[in-house]
Amino acid sequence: MLELLRQVGEVAVGVARKLFSHLVVTRLHLEIVVADEDAAQAALHYGYVCGVVCTALSVFLQNSVCKRYHVQITPDFDRKESRAVLEFQARIRLLFLITSSLSAFWHFIQIQKDSGQAAQRAS
């Protein structure tokens, strides 16, 4: 069972990498305001949000094509609630989407076939 999950995970990661490499982001706009009733908690949340967003954004930008992006994270010590705004515009070619879907489907069929043969040998 673990081997089956590993194989499915490998196929999913491979397809996701291919999709992200062909994804063209024409515009990415992210604004986050981190707030809390307590100023010390707001500062801690701000540091955590900066770390998570910067890490995720760097992975995303390395694995896709992004033409324009703007990210702004600001602390607000006067408000009580945080807020976030994300505007995202992207495109991907339909032909690539179809071929990668068919490739993933073919890999899943092969995995299912192999696991069925292994189950027959085990019994």
pLDDT tens digits, 45-104:
999 999 999 998 888 888 778 889 999 999 999 888 999 999 989 888 888 888 888 888
Q: What is the DSSP letter of 77?
A: S
Q: Residue 31: pLDDT band by 50, 70, 90 thresholds?
A: very high
Residues 6+ apart with CB under 8 A from 45: 34, 36, 82
| Domain range annotation of the chain | 1-23+93-115, 24-91
What token pair was written down for 66? Answer: 């992004």
